[in-house]
Amino acid sequence: MAGNRAASADPDALSWYEATARQRVVALADPGSVREFLPPTERRMSPHLPLFDLPRAFDDGIVVGRATLDGKPVLIAAQEGRFMGGAFGEIHGAKLVGLLRAAIELKPAAVLILFDTGGVRLQEANAGETAIAETMRAIVDARAAGIPVIGLIGGRAGCYGGGGLIAGTCSRLAVSEGGRISVSGPEVIETNKGAEEFDSRDRALVWRTMGGKHRRLIGGADAFCADTVAAFRRAALDLIGRAPAFDLDTLEAEQARLESRIERFGDCRDATDVWARLGVNDPDSVPAMDTRAFDETVARVREANHDAR
């Protein structure tokens, strides 16, 4: 499949943020182990984009397939943020749904979802939205069958809209500094509520409110990675080994965790206020921390680690 150039990329050197979806998959998995389903050669392209005079992609902006990770069989999906912002169209969404349904039958060691999405593709909005609902149900079915579903978030498009809801349905999430997780994007909030509510040009505000470090500190993600494929690989292997069950006890614990978060931080204006209350000594220094310093900070924050997801 995906070309030998990608296959030979050094996962320690390859930036997750800069890599394409296919490069991420190939470098993340064991060398030579990836087999793609409905690869670009099959040219399963959107039947809808031509109506809008928009270019199509041979894979509709998502790679799905199987591979091994440390010898264990996994199913992988990777969104391509460079095509239509990684957004969910009819085929894009159906490939992810099909992969998750296959997991329930094949029982792999895990399903990995490499998010890179702005949410629903508006030109195919109803199909995209429905596919997101189908994806969430299929993730729940897979988790209930004992299959960990691990989300990896560090791409250019972030993980927005329905992508954020899917991420919240996964067993575990790994995120890098550049990964952003949110429902309404900065531009959407600004367009609807004004720049006083959210100034989308204030990139530092975007990163503080939705970025990987904030999500990790409040327990919205379970691992923080440097921006390399190797770091995401290590995180994925670790998270597969400690995925919470999907049952009433887990959801009761998540209910308590989220209620407690709103009670404790509901009056905070800025992420730095939240971090201070979490016990971070110098909240203003968090955005500039390197991975090691940030890991040490996270280790002292009780709320960051839990099985309530």
* Footprint (CB under 8 A) of another protein, residues 28-87: 37-38, 44, 47-48, 51-52, 64, 66, 75
How many residues touch another protein under the rule CB under 8 A: the total is: 84
> How many whole angstroms separate alpha carbon 7 and alpha carbon 25?
9
> How many whole angstroms separate alpha carbon 223 and alpha carbon 216?
7
Nearer to another protein, 22 or 215 (CB): 215
Nearer to another protein, 40 or 98 (CB): 98
Neighbours of 105 (CB within 10 A): 8
Residues 178-197 that bind another protein (CB under 8 A): 181-184, 188-189, 191-193, 197
> How many whole angstroms separate alpha carbon 221 and alpha carbon 291?
15
* Residue 263: CB minimum distance to another protein, A: 10
> How many whole angstroms separate alpha carbon 240 and alpha carbon 112?
9
Residues 282-301 that bind another protein (CB under 8 A): none
Contacts with 79 (C-beta within 8 Å, 6 or more apart), sequence order:
21, 61, 62, 86, 92, 114, 115, 116, 117, 155, 157, 163
Nearer to another protein, 27 or 173 (CB): 173
Sheet containing strand 149-153, edge to edge, reads: 35-37, 62-69, 72-79, 110-115, 149-153, 172-176, 223-225
Q: Which of 14, 74, 166, 286 binds another protein (CB under 8 A)?
A: 166
Residues 214-253 that bind another protein (CB under 8 A): 214-215, 218, 220, 246-248, 251-252
Q: Which of 1, 7, 9, 102 binds another protein (CB under 8 A)?
A: 102
Q: Considering only 18-26, 161-169, 222-230, 284-292, which stretch makes contact with another protein by CB under 8 A?
A: 161-169
> How many whole angstroms separate alpha carbon 222 and alpha carbon 173?
5
Q: Find out whether 294 and 301 touch, Cβ atoms under 8 Å.
A: no
* Residue 71: CB minimum distance to another protein, A: 16
Q: Which of 11, 61, 81, 93 binds another protein (CB under 8 A)?
A: 93
Nearest to 79 by CA among 227, 11, 179: 179
Q: Considering only 1-9, 126-134, 222-230, 289-297, which stretch makes contact with another protein by CB under 8 A?
A: 126-134
